[in-house]
């Protein structure tokens, strides 16, 4: 197995994409704006590096304003296996003490058309246990994020799109043009797995990033809002440094702050296997 | 603190110091480290109350300290110590007299290991747990660490495994690994002493433990127990093959025939026999379900025969102690399913001894079903666990529901119950059927 794209090829592809998108976006929406599918494909294929390491701090805020904090390291790398795309991810919790060293190893087999493979490491028992694949819309370890939210890329092929228009989006005192579009899961089964029936997405075309996504349930009630802030270039790659997820039903919110982001560290392929969890080498 | 516990602590500290001075260079593969020292403390207060006869079961204060030193990437020294005092003994003089303070306090080292990497091989030397099995509530592949059954109804099942001094080396080949475990310490199952709540009258362990012991010394570097595990993935299926050659942690009672003036004298003894065990496990995704299983065959495991068959067994093989050797199959099949914050897991466990001419002392065929339901809500602030075990042969049910609430990042409170239901009180689990209890605990982790 090897990394999917070389960093240079990815940078070239991203540059080409930006040129095409910019030329398209200069035109009015009604007269030649990119399709929703093209926009989201660009989001999926944008340069995210060969591999990435995040050190994250997740603050969980309940409706009374009480907070709980979790810190973790998250590593992600893209692989190609028999010409099929696979993304592997290692998440190790650093705090609080009751989940310290607990780890998750996951293989995203979306490119192979099958469910994820997930292993949970429980340090008190020294037990690495295979667990059933979660639904993509299931909450990620008690936060308001879903497993789908914390994966890289965007499964653009799973949706149909309607481009709604363009508007301005302000982040860090700067205004940016964004496209508004609506996406619906292609099948009822996909909608069940994802946990929503439609989603409204705001995309910044200049960086090919979603800045906000609203999710609606089967009764078309606003269920959840995901918002990205503080978008900057890190190691030449556009990156959000803060991501918020708000559950409108429970009025619970999770703020994920990226305390450290490192791309293209040439993480070894075999870093993404059970050894990393069993040896408790991440701290 | 008993003299034995003090001796144990001294031995652990000495070994840890020796191990620390002997660590070879390690390959730097981990991310940059921050502080080489980390320490964590857990304070737990467990309170149990027997409902059948309205009395306190435990008022235990438990302190666990976890110290870790990482002088460089890939090299790690860790010591985890734990001590407790049970205040029940201070409030119940009768109990103190009956049990001579057994279980009043305990100090133990749960982990004292030096871990380092050498290329693609990871080593762990010291006192530790080795986990092979993945089952909930029952054990099949977990062959290495013996169990502490002095209190087998406990809040945290991880606490029932007894750590051993051993060497654990694991070589990785991509998604596969070969693990070799060499244990010079021969661990034995700890049974509850007579007079304590979980004394096993069914097996009369106190009487048996008073018998002459025949087996290995506790530490015997010249004849260690050895385990091998080859694990990896075939497609999306996790598989493992296991082999273990080691002394049984539990004894079989044998009989020696001695000549005497009044006729042959039969003297019982307890025997710890070395057995070869072969096994394996798998976990396979089936859509949203996970199918998993594990199985072992213990070859020629010694069993006691029924008392009526003892003369025949001794006559057939006088040096055999009246024991017969049978292959013993233990297998488990389970399915898991998870959906938003909920896990459902069901298992079926089968234990079968091969047949033979002579009947065994106790039935060696059992079927146990387990059902685990876990659900979290309010973003994991509340959590319910319900583990249920049903023995189809004994018709015995044990249900362990637990409800926990995470007050903040440090404090977790939980309440629960252990509920027995047994048709036959003379069965193994039936003897504990009056052990129904309510549990309340508070855990601080920092």
More confident residue, A174 or B124: B124
How many angstroms away from the CA of B376 is the closest CA of chain A? 8
Is B177 an 8 Å CB contact of chain A? Answer: yes
Residue B130: closest C-alpha in chain A? A126
pLDDT of residue A283: 77
Q: Which of A254, A273, A281 sits opposite B30 (nearest CB)?
A: A281
Contact B40 A97 (CB under 8 A): yes
How many angstroms away from the CA of B379 is the closest CA of chain A? 4
Residues above pLDDT 70, as percent of chain B: 88
**Does position A82 have pLDDT exceeding 80, yes or no?**
no
How many angstroms away from the CA of A125 is the closest CA of chain B? 6
Is B174 an 8 Å CB contact of chain A? Answer: yes
Contact A268 B29 (CB under 8 A): yes
Distance CA B28, CA A16 (A): 38
Mean of all residue pLDDT scores within chain B: 85
The pLDDT-based confidence of A135 (bands split at 50, 70, 90) is low
Q: Which B residues, 308 through 327, put their C-beta within 8 Å of a C-beta on chain A?
A: none
pLDDT of residue A22: 43
Contact B38 A283 (CB under 8 A): yes
Of the given ranges (A30-44, A86-100, A201-215, B322-336), which has the lowest mean pLDDT?
Answer: A30-44
Contact A115 B337 (CB under 8 A): no
Q: Is the dihedral of CA A43, A44, A50, A51 positive or negative?
A: positive
B269-325 pLDDT tens trace: 888 999 999 999 999 998 889 999 999 999 999 888 888 888 888 888 878 888 888
Find which of B30, B31, B169, B229 to mutate to test the A interface (most A CBs within 10 Å of its CB).
B31
Q: Which of B156, B285, B289 sits opposite A117 (nearest CB)?
A: B285
How many angstroms away from the CA of B97 is the closest CA of chain A? 35
pLDDT of residue B116: 95
Q: How far is CA A130 from CA A4, B23, B241, B242, B359, in A?
A: 26, 32, 16, 18, 40
Is B39 an 8 Å CB contact of chain A? Answer: no
Contact A60 B379 (CB under 8 A): yes
pLDDT of residue A94: 93
- ipTM topping 0.85: no
HSE-CB of B251 using CA atoms within 13 angstroms: 25
Of the given ranges (A12-16, B72-76, B162-166, B423-427), which has the lowest mean pLDDT?
Answer: A12-16
Cβ neighbours of residue B22 closer than 8 Å, sequence gap 6 or more: B114
A234-248 pLDDT tens trace: 999 999 999 999 999
pLDDT of residue B357: 75
The pLDDT-based confidence of A191 (bands split at 50, 70, 90) is confident
Q: Which of A137, A142, A268 sits opposite B380 (nearest CB)?
A: A142
A&B contacts, CB < 8 Å: 128
Residues above pLDDT 90, as percent of chain A: 40
HSE-CB of A44 using CA atoms within 13 angstroms: 17
**Does position B400 have pLDDT exceeding 70, yes or no?**
yes
Q: Which B residues, 394 through 413, put their C-beta within 8 Å of a C-beta on chain A?
A: 406, 408-410, 412
Q: What are phi and psi of A123, to 5 degrees?
A: -65, -30
Q: Which of B117, B283, B445 sits opposite A96 (nearest CB)?
A: B445
Residue A262: closest C-alpha in chain B? B31
DSSP per-residue string spanning chain A = -EESS-HHHHHHHHHHHHHHHHHHHTS-GGGTPPPHHHHHHHHHHS---SEEEEEEEEEEE-TT--EEEEEEEEEEEEEEETTEEEEEEEEEEEESGGGTT-EEEEEE-GGGTS--EEEEEETTTTEEEEEPPPPTTSBSTTSS-BTTTTSSS--GGGEEEEEEEEEEEEETTEEEEEEEEEEEESSHHHHHHHT-SEEEEEEETTTTEEEEEEEE-TT--EEEEEEEEEEEEETTEEEEEEEEEEETTTTEEEEEEEEEEEE-----GGGSSHHHHHTT---
B214-225 pLDDT tens trace: 888 889 888 999
pLDDT of residue B423: 78
The pLDDT-based confidence of B89 (bands split at 50, 70, 90) is confident
Residue B443: closest C-alpha in chain A? A98
**Does position A25 have pLDDT exceeding 60, yes or no?**
no
Is B221 an 8 Å CB contact of chain A? Answer: no
Q: Which of B40, B172, B338 sits opposite A270 (nearest CB)?
A: B172
B356-367 pLDDT tens trace: 777 787 766 789
pLDDT of residue B153: 63
**Does position B82 have pLDDT exceeding 90, yes or no?**
yes
């Amino acid at each position: 197995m090897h990394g999917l794209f070389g960093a240079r090829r990815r940078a070239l592809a991203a540059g080409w994409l930006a040129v095409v998108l910019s030329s398209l976006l200069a035109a009015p929406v009604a007269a030649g704006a990119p399709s929703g599918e093209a926009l989201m494909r660009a989001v999926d294929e944008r340069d995210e590096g060969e591999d990435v390491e995040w050190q994250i701090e997740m603050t969980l805020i309940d409706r009374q304003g009480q907070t709980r904090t979790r810190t973790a390291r998250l590593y992600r790398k893209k692989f190609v296996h028999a010409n099929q795309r696979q993304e592997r991810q290692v998440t190790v919790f650093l705090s609080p003490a009751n989940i310290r060293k607990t780890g998750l190893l996951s293989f995203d087999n979306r490119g192979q058309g099958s469910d994820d493979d997930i292993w949970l490491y429980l340090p008190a028992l020294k037990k690495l246990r295979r667990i059933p694949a979660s639904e993509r819309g299931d909450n990620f370890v008690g936060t308001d994020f879903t497993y789908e939210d914390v994966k890289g890329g965007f499964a653009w092929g799973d949706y149909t799109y309607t481009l709604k228009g363009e508007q301005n989006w302000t982040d860090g005192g700067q205004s940016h043009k964004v496209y508004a579009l609506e996406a619906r899961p292609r099948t009822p089964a996909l909608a069940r797995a994802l946990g929503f029936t439609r989603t409204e997405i705001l995309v910044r075309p200049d960086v090919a990033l979603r800045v906000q996504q609203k999710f609606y349930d089967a009764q078309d009630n606003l269920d959840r809002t995901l918002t990205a802030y503080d978008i900057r270039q890190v190691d030449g790659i556009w990156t959000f440094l803060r991501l918020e997820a708000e559950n409108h039903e429970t009025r619970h919110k999770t703020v994920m702050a990226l305390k450290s982001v490192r791309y293209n560290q040439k993480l070894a392929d075999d870093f993404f296997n059970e050894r990393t969890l069993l040896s408790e080498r991440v701290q | 603190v008993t003299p034995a516990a003090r001796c144990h602590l001294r031995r652990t500290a000495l070994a840890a110091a020796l191990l620390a001075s002997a660590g070879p260079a390690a390959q730097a593969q981990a991310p940059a480290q921050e502080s080489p020292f980390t320490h964590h403390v857990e304070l737990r207060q467990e309170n149990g109350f027997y409902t059948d006869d309205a009395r306190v079961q435990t008022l235990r204060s438990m302190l666990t300290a976890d110290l870790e030193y990482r002088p460089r990437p890939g090299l790690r020294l860790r010591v985890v110590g734990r001590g407790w005092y049970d205040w029940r003994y201070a409030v119940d003089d009768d109990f103190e007299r009956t049990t001579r303070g057994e279980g009043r306090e305990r100090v133990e080292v749960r982990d004292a290991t030096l871990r380092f990497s050498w290329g693609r091989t990871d080593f762990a030397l010291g006192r530790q747990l080795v986990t092979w099995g993945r089952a909930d509530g029952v054990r099949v592949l977990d062959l290495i660490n013996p169990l502490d059954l002095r209190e087998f109804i406990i809040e945290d099942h991880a606490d029932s495994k007894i750590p051993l001094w051993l060497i654990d080396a694991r070589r990785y080949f991509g998604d596969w690994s070969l693990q070799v475990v060499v244990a010079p310490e021969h661990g034995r199952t700890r049974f509850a002493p007579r007079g304590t709540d979980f004394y096993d009258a069914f097996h009369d362990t106190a009487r048996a433990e008073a018998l002459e012991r025949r087996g290995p010394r506790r530490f015997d570097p010249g004849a260690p127990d050895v385990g091998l595990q080859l694990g990896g993935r075939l497609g999306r299926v996790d598989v493992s093959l296991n082999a273990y050659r080691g002394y049984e942690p539990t004894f079989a009672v044998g009989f020696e025939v001695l000549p005497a003036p009044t006729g042959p004298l039969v003297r019982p003894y307890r025997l710890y026999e070395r057995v070869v065990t072969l096994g394996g496990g798998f976990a396979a995704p089936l859509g949203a379900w996970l199918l998993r299983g594990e199985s072992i065959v213990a070859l020629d495991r010694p069993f006691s025969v029924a008392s009526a068959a003892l003369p025949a067994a001794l006559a057939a093989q006088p040096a055999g102690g009246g024991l017969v050797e049978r292959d013993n199959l233990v297998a488990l099949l389970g399915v898991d399913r998870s959906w938003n914050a909920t896990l459902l897991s069901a298992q079926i466990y089968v234990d079968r001894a091969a047949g033979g001419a002579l009947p065994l002392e106790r039935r060696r065929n059992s079927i146990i079903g387990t059902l685990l339901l876990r659900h979290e809500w309010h973003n994991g602030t509340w959590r319910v666990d319900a583990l249920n075990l049903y023995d189809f042969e004994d018709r015995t049910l044990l249900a362990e529901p637990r409800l926990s609430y995470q007050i903040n990042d440090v404090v977790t409170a939980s309440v629960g119950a252990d509920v027995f239901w047994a048709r036959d009180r003379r069965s193994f689990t039936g003897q504990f059927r009056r052990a129904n209890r309510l549990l309340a605990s508070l855990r601080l982790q920092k």
